[in-house]
Amino acid sequence: MQPIGFVRSPYSETSQIPKGCGAKHDAEGVLEILPEFEEGLQDIEGFSHLFVIWTFHKAEGFALLGKPPTDDRAHGVFATRSPYRPNPIGLTVVQLIRREGSSLQVRGVDMLEGTPILDIKPYLSSIPEEKLKRGWLDEAEKRKLK
């Protein structure tokens, strides 16, 4: 695994990244792709949304159970977005604002400044919201609303 580029983000520390119930991810940032991979961006500008696969480069080690900021109960790491994962891979859906050469200006950044990017893929289709069940997250939100 090698970085194909790096994230330019307004967040230099994890404490700055919005977390928990109703956190908004509207921050703009740039996906700076290395010049040797720029050709791989051809025609990407036609897509409104992208999957960005990246590494939690500041996270060390992993925990199979952990309490997310959205709940006071512990859950399995694969049922959360915790950075402390067996493979420290992050996944973010961003909106593509525009491309300038090897730079992609995007909205929805929740990564730290300097985060290594492993891959970018087009976002092609969605699961309809009414078909989604969100397990412990919905339950935690309901407990907080009470």
Which residues of this chain interact with its own copies, rule CB under 8 A? 1-2, 4, 33, 37, 39-49, 51, 53, 64-65, 74-81, 85-87, 89, 91, 93, 118-129, 131-139
Q: How far apart are CA 17 and CA 15, in angstroms?
A: 6
**Cβ proximity to its own copies, 12 vs 45, nearer residue:** 45
Least distance to its own copies, CB of residue 99, Å: 10
**Cβ proximity to its own copies, 132 vs 145, nearer residue:** 132
User: In degrees, to the nearest 5, what angle opens at C-alpha 86 toward C-alphas 80 and 92?
Assistant: 50
Q: How many CB atoms lie within 10 A of CB 125?
A: 5
Q: How far apart are CA 44 and CA 22, in angstroms?
A: 30
Q: How far apart are CA 88 and CA 98, in angstroms?
A: 28
**Cβ proximity to its own copies, 33 vs 111, nearer residue:** 33
**Cβ proximity to its own copies, 12 vs 59, nearer residue:** 59
Least distance to its own copies, CB of residue 37, Å: 6
Structure tokens at 60: 């060390």
